[in-house]
Structure 1
Amino acid sequence: MATSARLGPLLAQFDFAYERLRDRLTGPVMDSGNGTPIKTGPLTDEEYLWEPVAGCWSVRPRAGGPGPRATRLLGGGDWGRDSAAGEHPWPPPFTTIAWRMTHLSEMLALRAEYTVGGRSLTFDDCPVGTDAASAVAILTSAAQAWRGALLAADDAALDRVGHCTYPYGGDAEEPFVEVVWWVNQELLHHGAEIALLRDLHRDRGPAVG
């Protein structure tokens, strides 16, 4: 199967968005947006789990149970990501870097699984990083898996409804090219949020109270 030439712009966008986020998380330099490299250090454990406001959703040890307004912890292993069965609470809880990275990793890994894999894994099969380094490694593996799924797509696959059968969205009712577009915007969206949280952590003021 030959990779579709039509995929080129979307694949380039994915690569740029992922590489920019990866460099923002790992350093030693990141893309400033205007072509000037900026020095940055790797994400720290403190940043990874930082809760800038009360009532954050995050990742946490399963033994302690879910966080505020959460009803369950998703993920495999001793840690899980805050979630809720059925409708999530409103207004939505503010989420940590850890929560957002885990959400991205799950999305990429599971969509790859339901495109070119066995189509059987669930959120509870996905590992959850307990610290910054393990979370970056999990995200890297998930991004590589999704990129592999993209490279396996030919023109027919791009147009095929249900080429991806990811069960936690409308993927099975959509042409694969629309799924690819959606994943890119999720990566751009959450990548920007993670970058902003790193900036806010760096420039946070002294604790009050």
Structure 2
Amino acid sequence: MTSDIQNVLRNQFELTWALFEYHLERLTPDDLLWEPAKLCWTVRPDSIGNWRADWSDSALDPIPVPTIGWLTWHIGWWWSTAAAHARGAVPPDRTAVLWPGDLAKTLGWMRALRDQWSHILEDITDLTRPAVFPWPPEARRSTADQFAWVNTELMKNAAEIGQLRLLKAARDA
């Protein structure tokens, strides 16, 4: 049963990644920090040049529209956290996850995370063990649930990036 579920998760991940890669291959440097609305979350260099993401610990209404740069930072943060949990390692603190600062480095980061996750998917032997992220232990979710969540979250973020890319291209046409 584990190998059947593992195959479904792997195939779902590969499909999700292919759709994400479609948009990654078409990004331009100008796409990353394009702000599609007045209320926007983005990434900005701090006083020493580290790129940090806008963030609020309280619920915002309305929710700021993210830039592609912010979305790629967000992917890097949650995926690094999910990978750490899957390996039994300590996840990075949100504030320690920095955006790379340009298109080439961002694409490299996204693809390195993909490779890392592919290895985790290949190496997992017990999809029934309790997941630690993104749910609390009392949720009683399994590692299979966690891996399915990664696929879903990546698909959502890929669609958001794709939509922003298309909106900017239409605006610029």
Output the TM-score relative to the length of structure 1: 0.74
Q: CA deviation at 1:120?
A: 4.2
Letter in 1 for 2:52: G
Of 109-118 and 52-61, deviating more is: 109-118
In the alignment, which of 110, 113, 127 is matched to residue 158 of structure 1?
A: 127
Q: 1:120 to 1:14 in 2, by over 3 A?
A: closer
The corresponding residue for 1:84 is: 56
Letter in 1 for 2:70: W
Distance 1:94 1:61 in 2: 19
Contact 1:109-1:143 at 8 Å conserved across structures:
no
Which protein has greater RCO, CA pairs closer than 8 Å, 6+ apart?
A: 2
Distance 2:117 2:94 in 1: 16
Query: Does residue 46 of structure 2 align to residue 46 of structure 1?
Result: no
Which portions of structure 1, spanning 4 or more consecutive aligned residues, are displaced by more than 4 angstroms?
Answer: none
Contact 1:56-1:94 at 8 Å conserved across structures:
yes
Q: 1:203 to 1:79 in 2, by over 3 A?
A: same
The corresponding residue for 1:10 is: 9
Question: Based on CA coordinates, which of the two structures has the bigger radius of gyration?
Answer: 1
Q: CA deviation at 1:138?
A: 1.1
Aligned-pair identity in percent equals 27
Q: 1:127 to 1:142 in 2, by over 3 A?
A: farther
Distance 1:14 1:176 in 2: 15
Alignment of 1:102-121 (within 5 A): 102-116=73-87, 118-121=89-92
The corresponding residue for 2:135 is: 170
Structure having the higher helix fraction is 2
The corresponding residue for 2:160 is: 193
Unaligned runs of 5+ in 2: none
Distance 1:129 1:117 in 2: 25
Contact 1:111-1:146 at 8 Å conserved across structures:
no
Distance 2:144 2:50 in 1: 36
The corresponding residue for 1:34 is: none
In the alignment, which of 135, 138, 147 is matched to residue 180 of structure 1?
A: 147
Distance 2:147 2:89 in 1: 19
Contact 1:102-1:139 at 8 Å conserved across structures:
no
Output the TM-score relative to the length of structure 2: 0.88
Distance 2:72 2:136 in 1: 21
